């Protein structure tokens, strides 16, 4: 785009052309620990770690990982909910020169197995709870995975009981606290200097689903992620929306999700915030924590703000400490925005980003009257253009087209996928996002559609093709089409239209979901099923979604 109309929308204290210094990510924690050593960094279920303690634990684990062979080029998996283990291990892996590979507890078994092999992960850090550790133990014998580091939920509680030796004595499974204890007597300052880490090295391999085939690993370097951190600091800190050393964050979004990793963890630690970690979202529990801990900052997806706004037991008094909220991951409806702001009396901003851009792309500025429905303006250093979806030519301001983004936060490419990488970029370094939108003369971005066959359910990318492939494994299914239904809470939810094989018994939604239990993640499960004698097809005989999507749109317009 030859002009940059968004520049004039930046409020005092912020600049689109602000410098974005890069660093290796362990420096974020190192600097915070030096500046606020005694300030609480993490709170979790009765435990608390200061910045000095968090930094020291990360250094000790880094030394232990180094002794186990982690070095530049090593890929270490984190298969964790929001516990202190995640934050400690994240920085420890990077200090050792390795790369973090994020694994989602929501993923189905075949997806996890693919990620282990594709990313070349040999060591994974997880929790010793059945739903996590048991699944990963199975991969010790069926994949390249060779070592599990097992933490416990109560590892950091001051009254935690002493741990007995691990059952079975499997040498491939080691305890998180044992690794820390083994290094406790050493000088944690004796690791190699930070200057030995390369800012252009791969820091995080973040998998993102594909419309076809297996998930792809977006390669995010230290430079990419520290640039994204600088973009958030420029907008939120530079704009006076947060104050260093004073904020309290409630962290409910999973840290394995790029939005939470960058906005909650990296940004939160960089401003000396106190991060209260929740393993999962519970509406009343979140409201109680906001009131009890006097939480000031809460980043979420639309479903969380809808829940807080509509829950009858959540009062305005409970939310009164909030000063900054931001919604991302999916569009927030006008009504949902209004209801939350009316109850919380708090600024609720919006933004857009994707895995390939470190979760950052556009943000509301927080200045003046909030423009509901807009994804904001490009953050510092980011340039946008919009391409006609038919011709591929750039369209002028105000016209719809596929959003393309260029900036220092844009990924280095897809891991081991040179062809997919090449196909994802346009012109001089612009990433094609698959999102369709437009930009106003004031530089505000509005997103209206997607070119890719993808849903966003509760902030997570969900791909109909993946669900369809799982449903096709059912012996009674002849054909299937999955589309997204509008959902006031989740944004979208999957519905399956199924044609059964001749002579097959009727199939219920409950029976289908039971069949898919080990084949799909919870966030991918169909919530509606319709059996049909025939599914629509294109003139050349391919299954067609357009007719079903038109039916859904007509039903929604008619209140059906």
Which residues, at least 6 apart from 200, have a Cβ–Cβ distance to it below 8 Å?
221, 222, 223
> Between the CA of residue 446 and those of 88, 263, 428, 439, what are the distances in Å?
38, 21, 23, 6
Pair 155, 277: CB distance under 8 Å: no
Per-residue tokens: 447: 């997103």
Residue 199 confidence (pLDDT) above 80 = yes
Round to whole Å and give the CA distance between 421 and 424.
5
Which residues, at least 6 apart from 520, have a Cβ–Cβ distance to it below 8 Å?
108, 466, 467, 470
Model confidence pLDDT, tens digit, residues 472-488: 999 999 889 999 998 88
H/E run at residue 514: helix 509-515
Pair 210, 216: CB distance under 8 Å: yes
Model confidence pLDDT, tens digit, residues 1-11: 557 999 989 98
Round to whole Å and give the CA distance between 27 and 58.
12
The mean pLDDT value for 183-197 works out to: 63
We find that the CATH architecture of domain 24-198 is 3-Layer(aba) Sandwich (3.40)
**Cβ–Cβ contacts within 10 Å for residue 184, how many?**
11
Alpha helices in 348-456 (DSSP H): 418-424
**Cβ–Cβ contacts within 10 Å for residue 171, how many?**
8
Round to whole Å and give the CA distance between 43 and 278.
9
pLDDT for 491 equals 86
Residue 211 confidence (pLDDT) above 80 = no
- Strands 297-300 and 274-277: what pairing? unpaired
The mean pLDDT value for 405-429 works out to: 96
Residue in 338, 339, 400, 340 with CA at minimum distance from that of residue 372: 338
Q: How far apart, in Å, do the first and last CA atoms of the chain sit? A: 42
C-alpha angle 256-259-265 in degrees, rounded to nearest 5:
70
Q: Is 538 exposed, middle or buried (0-12, 13-18, 19+ CB in 10 A)?
A: exposed
Round to whole Å and give the CA distance between 141 and 402.
44
DSSP letter assigned to residue 270: H
Sign of the dihedral through C-alpha 7, 5, 427, 421: positive
pLDDT for 367 equals 83
Q: CATH 3.40.50.12780 in the chain, residues?
A: 1-11+228-408+429-452
Going by pLDDT thresholds of 50, 70 and 90, the confidence category of residue 450 is confident
Round to whole Å and give the CA distance between 293 and 302.
23
Helix axes of 26-35 and 84-95: crossing angle, nearest 10 degrees: 110
- Count H helices, E strands: the chain? 16, 27
Per-residue tokens: 114: 């693919």
Residue 369 confidence (pLDDT) above 90 = no
Going by pLDDT thresholds of 50, 70 and 90, the confidence category of residue 163 is low
Of 289-293, 364-368, 530-534, which gets the smallest average pLDDT?
364-368
CATH, domain range 455-557: 3.30.300.30
pLDDT for 21 equals 94
The mean pLDDT value for 369-385 works out to: 91
The mean pLDDT value for 137-151 works out to: 96
Of 12-26, 183-197, 211-225, 405-419, which gets the smallest average pLDDT?
183-197
Residue 86 confidence (pLDDT) above 50 = yes
Round to whole Å and give the CA distance between 86 and 29.
14
The mean pLDDT value for 344-358 works out to: 95
pLDDT for 167 equals 45
pLDDT for 138 equals 94
Going by pLDDT thresholds of 50, 70 and 90, the confidence category of residue 390 is confident
Round to whole Å and give the CA distance between 258 and 276.
18
pLDDT for 458 equals 86
Per-residue tokens: 157: 């509680």
Going by pLDDT thresholds of 50, 70 and 90, the confidence category of residue 240 is very high
Whole-number mean pLDDT of the chain?
91
- The phi and psi torsions of 151 (rounded to 5 degrees) equal -100, 170
Helix axes of 84-95 and 51-67: crossing angle, nearest 10 degrees: 50
Q: CATH 3.40.50.980 in the chain, residues?
A: 24-198
The mean pLDDT value for 261-285 works out to: 97
DSSP, collapsed to helix, strand or coil, labels residue 85 as helix
H/E run at residue 101: strand 99-102
pLDDT for 229 equals 98
Residue 497 confidence (pLDDT) above 70 = yes
pLDDT for 1 equals 58
We find that the CATH architecture of domain 1-11+228-408+429-452 is 3-Layer(aba) Sandwich (3.40)
Of 130-144, 164-178, 216-230, 345-359, which gets the smallest average pLDDT?
164-178
Query: Higher confidence at residue 338 or residue 187?
Result: 338
Round to whole Å and give the CA distance between 327 and 336.
11
Beta bridge partners of 265: none
Residue 185 confidence (pLDDT) above 90 = no
pLDDT for 330 equals 76
Alpha helices in 277-427 (DSSP H): 283-293, 302-310, 334-344, 418-424
Q: CATH 3.30.300.30 in the chain, residues?
A: 455-557
The mean pLDDT value for 43-62 works out to: 97
The mean pLDDT value for 127-151 works out to: 95
């Amino acid at each position: 785009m030859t002009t940059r109309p968004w520049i004039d929308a930046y409020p005092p204290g912020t600049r689109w052309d602000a410098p974005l210094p890069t660093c290796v990510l362990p420096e974020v924690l190192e600097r915070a620990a030096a500046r606020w050593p005694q300030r609480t960094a993490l709170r979790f279920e009765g435990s608390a770690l200061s910045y000095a303690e968090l930094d020291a634990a990360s250094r000790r684990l880094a030394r232990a990982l180094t002794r186990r062979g982690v070095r530049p080029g090593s890929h270490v998996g984190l298969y964790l909910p929001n516990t202190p283990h995640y934050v400690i291990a994240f920085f420890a892996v990077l200090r050792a020169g390795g790369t973090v590979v994020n694994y989602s507890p929501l993923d189905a078994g075949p997806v996890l197995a693919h990620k282990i092999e594709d990313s070349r992960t040999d060591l994974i850090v997880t929790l010793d709870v059945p739903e996590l550790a048991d699944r990963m133990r199975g991969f010790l014998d069926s994949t390249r995975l060779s070592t599990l580091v097992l933490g416990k939920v109560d590892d950091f509680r001051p009254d935690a009981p002493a741990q007995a030796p691990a059952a079975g004595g499997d040498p491939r499974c080691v305890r998180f606290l044992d690794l820390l204890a083994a290094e406790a007597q050493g000088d944690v300052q004796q690791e190699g200097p930070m200057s030995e880490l390369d800012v252009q090295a791969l820091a995080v391999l973040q998998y993102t689903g594909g419309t076809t085939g297996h998930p792809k690993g977006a390669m995010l370097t230290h430079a990419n992620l520290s640039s994204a951190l600088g973009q958030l600091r420029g907008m939120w800190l530079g704009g006076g929306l947060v104050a260093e050393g004073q904020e309290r964050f409630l962290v409910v979004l999973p840290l394995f999700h790029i939005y939470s990793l960058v906005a909650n963890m990296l940004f939160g630690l960089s401003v000396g915030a106190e991060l209260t970690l929740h393993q999962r979202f519970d509406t009343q529990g979140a409201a109680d924590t906001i009131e009890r801990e006097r939480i000031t900052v809460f980043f979420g997806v639309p479903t969380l703000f809808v829940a807080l706004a509509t829950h009858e037991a959540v009062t305005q008094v409970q939310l009164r400490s909030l000063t900054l909220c931001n919604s991302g991951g999916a569009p927030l409806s006008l009504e949902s925005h209004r209801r939350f702001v009316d109850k919380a009396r708090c600024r609720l901003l919006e933004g857009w980003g994707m895995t390939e851009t470190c979760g950052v792309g556009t943000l509301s500025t927080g200045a003046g009257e909030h423009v509901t429905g807009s994804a904001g303006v490009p953050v510092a250093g980011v340039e946008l253009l919009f391409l006609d979806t038919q011709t591929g030519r750039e369209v002028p301001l105000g016209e719809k087209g596929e959003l393309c983004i260029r900036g220092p936060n844009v990924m280095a490419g897809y891991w081991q996928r040179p062809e997919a990488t090449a196909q994802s970029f346009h012109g001089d370094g612009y990433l094609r996002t698959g999102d369709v939108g437009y930009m106003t003369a004031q530089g505000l971005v509005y997103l209206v559609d997607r070119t890719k066959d993808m849903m966003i359910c509760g902030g997570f990318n969900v791909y109909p093709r993946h669900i369809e492939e799982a449903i096709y494994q059912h012996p009674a299914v002849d054909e299937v089409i999955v589309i997204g239904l509008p959902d006031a809470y989740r944004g979208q939810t999957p519905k399956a239209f199924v044609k059964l094989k001749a002579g097959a018994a009727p199939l219920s939604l409950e029976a289908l979901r039971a069949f898919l239990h080990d084949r799909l993640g919870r966030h991918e499960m169909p919530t509606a099923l319709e059996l049909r004698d025939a599914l629509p097809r294109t003139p050349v005989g391919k299954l067609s979604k357009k007719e079903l999507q038109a039916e859904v749109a007509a039903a929604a317009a008619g209140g059906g």
